Each structure stands twice: as C-alpha cells, then as structure tokens.
Amino acid sequence: MTVVFCDLRGFTAFAETAEPEEVMTVLAEYHSCLGEQIVRHEGTLERFVGDGIVVVFNDPLPCADHTERAVCMATAMRDAIDGHSEQWRRRDHLLGFGIGIARGHATIGRIGFDQRADYAVIGTVSNHAARLCEEAGPRQILVSQRVVGAVESLVESVAVGELTLKGFRRPMPAYEIVRWIGRPS
C-alpha cells in the first residue's frame, strides 16, 4: 500500500494566536481543498489529525497503480493549496504545506473499543510517511525509495540524501518530487 501524510507548516503557532473561529475557517478551507483531490484520485481518507491528513491507497479497494495515484494526488494537492496559501497570507496567516509518502506493507482494520472504533493503518509504512512529512519543508513532497522507484518515469525527482527519522534505527534515503510528468500521450 501507499500512505500519504500531509500537514500545514506553522499551524500550531497560527492556532495559538488566531481566534478559534478563524482556525476552524482555515481548517475547513484546507480540508475541502484536499478532500477534492482525495476523491478525484480515489484515495481513502484514513484520518484527520488536526491539520494532519492521512490518505491510503490500495485499501479497501485494490488498485495496481496505488503509488502513481498517491504521488499524482500529492502534486495536485500542493498546486491546489497554493491558491489558499496566497489567501491566507493576505489574512496574515503564514502557513506552509508539506507531504510525506511511503510504500510498504501494513495491517489495516478496525481499532478501538466497543463504544468507539476507527479504521486504521498500523505499521512502519504509516510511520515512515509521517516522519517524511515532518522533514518536508513548505511545498515539499518527500518520498521513500520504494515510492520513487515505483514512479521514477512519471516524475521529476531529486535525491535529498539519507535522513535520520524519529523511530527508525538507521538513516533512510529520501527523494523530493519536484513535479508530476505523467505518462506520455
């Protein structure tokens, strides 16, 4: 499966100083913008974590091109957020947007207890995507080696080197997706 983790840069500082109604307005704009891309690329929204969003591909419905869909969606999300970022800047909100994507195996299903349960992705792939997202700068899409290997002919990418990611014992190679090229016509 492929897991996409994305969030807003500077959101915590913004939320500390903005009125709660403005925080909710920004979140609604953000979620609506990204939600359109999730639906368009047929991803599965695993969860919202404040300004963080986790999207999975290849579950519950299998798709052979899950990594292609995930990376294409991530580049579309980045482009779509650009318009909102400009609006937010005009309202004096300095918010960036970063994405991490990893590919691997996971256990997927229901977690929780009788009165409250969620659909969840459990495994290293989810943690890897989250840690890549943490390292991503504004407008940056960082991906794992498995991801870039699956889409290298469809993207322009740059190696960023090995990153020391929280929770991983050894440095992990990472790549930045500069742009989506897609399949030739």
What is the tens place of the pLDDT at every residue in 35-64? 999 999 999 999 988 899 999 999 888 999
Domain coverage including residue 125: 2-180
How many helices (H) and strands (E) the chain has is answered by 5, 9
Q: End-to-end CA distance of the chain, in Å?
A: 27
How would you classify the pairing of strands 44-49 and 52-57?
antiparallel
Residue carrying structure tokens 């300004």? 51
Give the chain's largest Cα–Cα span. 51
pTM of structure: 0.94
Using an 8 Å Cβ cutoff, are 39 and 100 in contact?
no
**According to the model, what pLDDT value does residue 32 have?**
95
What is the tens place of the pLDDT at every residue in 141-171? 999 999 999 999 999 999 999 999 999 999 9
CATH number at residue 28: 3.30.70.1230
Counted domains in the chain: 1
In whole angstroms, give the CA distance from residue 134 to residue 165.
9
Query: Averaged over 60-87, what is the pLDDT?
Result: 94
% of the chain surpassing 90 pLDDT: 85
Average pLDDT in the chain: 94
Assigned domain for 7 exists: yes
Assigned domain for 185 exists: no
Residue 185 has pLDDT above 70, yes or no: no
Query: Averaged over 85-106, what is the pLDDT?
Result: 93
In whole angstroms, give the CA distance from residue 137 to residue 176.
10
